Amino acid sequence: MDNIHGVARGTAEVPLSVLELATVGVGITPTEALRGATDLARKVEEWGFHRIWVAEHHGMPGVASSSPAVLIAHLAAATERIRIGSGGVMLPNHAPLVVAEQFGTLEALHPGRIDLGLGRAPGTDMATAHALRRRAEVDPDEFPQHVNELTAFLDGTFPRIQAIPRGPQRPPIWLLGSSGFSAKLAGLLGLPFAFAHHFSAANTEPALELYRASFRPSEVLAEPYAMIGVSALAAETEEEAYRQALPGALSFLRLRSGTPGPFPTPEEAHEYEFSPMEAEFVRDRLSNVALGTPEQVRAHLDELRKRTDADELMITTMVHGTETRIRSYELIARAYGLI
């Protein structure tokens, strides 16, 4: 299906795409963060990236992408060609009919440019998840059923109920995951699969192997199509790249410790006194980032693509400030001959 497979550009062996969270940093308002996400979408479209997705997170002061459908509509209206999608909609938080109506509307507004990526995690803490779902627990075994319901709504085949409006075609459905559950389900359903290598690197190759081994051809996909999300940050020097990357590690450390906040500045991160255990956490976190000069970043990404045999790379860059993030993507684009 042409709207699933991407096209490699420049000297890249596979398509390059972008995952955006509309990061709200210290001293940056949500309005500025969302404006920055719009500026980034326009730039990466200009430079030949294949798609840009936005992630659903809730209750996180440093992330403004809590409403993917709203943000996708805005980004699609601000661009012309690049594919826009969700990376992803956390399906347990929503009724399948509501998601079908939202993405049917998006596909009708922007035919052939919308992707619907689905995740089975809540994308937040349990209290916030309860407020979203109005019930304390969700059975993970319900996820395949909800995917099937959503697909039927988008196809117009659900008994007695219609999801209106629908676009001229069904937006491609992707399954997202960081373990084997969604990998196997994506394979069995014949859907494209996106793996979160950027926060679950140890599971990447086993999950992709499971996806490919489980794959059954479908009406939308004849062969497996696997994309991996990877953290990357390029700067003019290796030292500057590390300086810009440290706030992301500190932000994730605070999230894991239950104290999320606005994304810290490089100055705040370098003044923070890490305990030995925290320092080890940071080293492990940064070891999974394609970090350094443009040449170093490309070498890391090329090695990862070769090792995983990924069909597409989706880059996410967590830094303080839009200008720094856009500059990193520009350097990566130049390293691959996109500009």
- Which three-class secondary structure string do you get for 146-198? HHHHHHHHHHCCCCCCCCCCCCCCCCCEEEEECCHHHHHHHHHHCCCEEECCC
Q: Which residues contact 232 (CB under 8 A, 6 or more apart)?
A: 289, 290, 291, 297, 300, 301, 315, 316, 317, 328, 332
Residue 327 lies inside a defined structural domain of this protein: yes
Cβ-contact 338, 16 below 8 angstroms: yes
Cα separations (Å) of 215 from 61, 191, 210, 235? Answer: 38, 8, 8, 39
pLDDT at 80: 97
Q: For residue 108, what is the DSSP state?
A: H
Residue 4 lies inside a defined structural domain of this protein: no
292 — phi, psi (to 5°)?
Answer: 140, -150
Residue 165 lies inside a defined structural domain of this protein: yes
Residue 9 lies inside a defined structural domain of this protein: no
Residue 147 lies inside a defined structural domain of this protein: yes
Q: What is the pTM of this model?
A: 0.94
Domain extent at residue 199: 16-336
Q: Given the structure tokens 């196809």, which residue do they identify?
A: 155
pLDDT at 128: 72
Q: Please give the full DSSP string across 220-231, using - where no structure is assigned.
A: S-SS--EEEEEE
Cβ-contact 156, 163 below 8 angstroms: yes
Q: Given the structure tokens 């999950």, which residue do they identify?
A: 207
Q: Please give the full DSSP string across 275-316, using - where no structure is assigned.
A: -HHHHHHHHHHHTTSEEESHHHHHHHHHHHHHHHT-SEEEEE
pLDDT at 134: 54
Angle at 309 between CA 304 and CA 311, to 5 degrees: 100
pLDDT at 59: 85
Q: Given the structure tokens 């909609």, which residue do they identify?
A: 89
For 23, the token pair is: 């990061």
Q: Which residues contact 252 (CB under 8 A, 6 or more apart)?
A: 285
Residue 63 lies inside a defined structural domain of this protein: yes
- CA dist 58 and 60 (Å) reads 6
Cβ-contact 84, 134 below 8 angstroms: no
Residue 119 lies inside a defined structural domain of this protein: yes
CATH of residue 140's domain is: 3.20.20.30
Q: How many CA atoms lie within 13 A of 4 on its CB side?
A: 25
**Cross-strand partners of 86:** 54, 116
Count of domains for the chain: 1
- CA dist 86 and 69 (Å) reads 8
Residue 188 lies inside a defined structural domain of this protein: yes
- Tens digit of each residue's pLDDT, the chain (339 residues): 468 999 999 999 999 999 999 999 999 999 999 999 999 999 999 999 999 999 998 888 999 999 999 999 999 999 999 999 999 899 988 999 999 999 999 999 999 999 999 998 766 667 777 777 655 566 667 899 999 999 999 999 999 999 999 988 999 999 999 989 999 999 999 999 999 999 889 999 999 999 999 999 999 999 999 999 999 999 999 999 999 999 999 999 998 888 999 999 999 999 999 999 999 999 999 999 999 999 999 999 999 999 999 999 999 999 999 999 999 999 999 999 999
